[in-house]
Amino acid sequence: MTKILVVGAGQMGAGIAQVAAQAGDAVLLNDRTQEYIDGGLLTIDKNLERAVEKGRMTNEERQAALARIQPQLTFENVDVDVAIEAATENLEIKLDLFAKLDRHTPQRAILASNTSSISITKLAAATKRPALVIGMHYFNPVPVMRLVEVIRGIATAQATFDAVRDLAIAHGKTPVEVRNFPGFVSNRVLCPMLNEAIFALYEGVGSVEAIDTVMRLGMNHPMGPLELSDFIGLDTLLSILEVLYDGFKDPKYRPCPLLREYVDAGWLGRKAGRGFYEYATPGGAIVARNGAGAAVGAR
């Protein structure tokens, strides 16, 4: 049993807390407000309820997993083995969190980040324990997706890597080791494809429906790239592309102006109720397409 602090109770943090609790770990779920924590707990409760309905776990197992997750509004002097930071994809926020985690967790604790693209070496430099800092990148929806990218910073110790690899396996995931380059492997490959789909919409090559159908039926992707962009969050996608663009100084990573405009409009995707699609509620089902800003003929 590992004692884990999960920082951030959004879709990623809640998912990580759920798989950890299901694996028998003791979880402290932290966020800035009780409301955010309650939101995360509600998502976990619904997911576990669905698992019981589908016969994948008993009601007793569900109750036991829920009881292993404790809300934690501050993380001063918490006794944990591992902290997994799953806050907003923003360098300043994460640097601040890592400095705080370094002050308030036991010296032996591993500090992991679920960042999608930010340098682990940079986050480690905000602490006095760079050998214990590592990237542990889960995928959305966490309970379903089998991958964890494990990212070594330049100073990450082998023992830290081994412990996190074993933790990912205990969470039912397949860990894959990658180096600390912008976007690692997953987002270096995925995000330029998503960005290209947005360019195709912007330039009027095809409608939202056409672009997504091509990739779903032609490439067997479970979601089209525009639906997946909405699912990830357009603000998160833009942040990742900025990291790639700044990190490589290569114009091939230039974020599409239409993506930037959607983010400026507050059309952040599924979580906001609007992105390349419109949703019945934030986080709800698709009800319509939104081709605003696409070249005439592609709307």
Concerning whether 187 is annotated as a catalytic residue, the answer is: yes
Q: Rounded to a whole number, what is the largest CA-CA distance in the chain?
A: 59
Q: Which two tokens stand for residue 30?
A: 């932290």
Collapsed DSSP state (helix, strand, coil) of residue 271: helix
Q: How far is the CB of 216 from ligand CAA (least distance, A)?
A: 10
Alpha-carbon gap, residue 292 to 281, rounded angstroms: 19
* Of positions 39, 71, 141, 247, contacts ligand CAA by CB under 6 A: 141
User: Whole-number minimum distance, CB 144 to ligand CAA, in Å?
Assistant: 4
Rank residues 218 and 222 by Cβ distance to ligand CAA and give the closer one.
222
Which amino acid, one-letter code, is at 140?
A: N
CB count in 10 Å sphere of residue 31: 23
> 144 or 219, CB closer to ligand CAA?
144
Cα 107 to chain centroid distance, Å, stands at 26
Distance between CA atoms of residues 200 and 6, nearest Å? 38
Q: Spell out, one character per residue from 48 to 67, where the chain touches ligand CAA: x when CB under 6 A holds, - when not.
A: --x---x-------------
Q: What are the φ/ψ torsions at residue 111 (nearest 5 degrees)?
A: -110, 110
Question: Shortest approach of ligand CAA to residue 222 CB, angstroms?
Answer: 4
Which member of 1, 67, 144, 288 binds ligand CAA (CB under 6 A)?
A: 144
Q: By CB under 6 A, is residue 229 in contact with ligand CAA?
A: no
Cis omega (within 30 of 0) on the bond before 141? yes
- Please give the residue ranges that form the binding site for ligand CAA (CB under 6 A): 47, 50, 54, 116, 139-141, 143-145, 186-187, 222-223, 228, 232
Q: So which residues are the catalytic ones? A: 116, 137, 149, 187
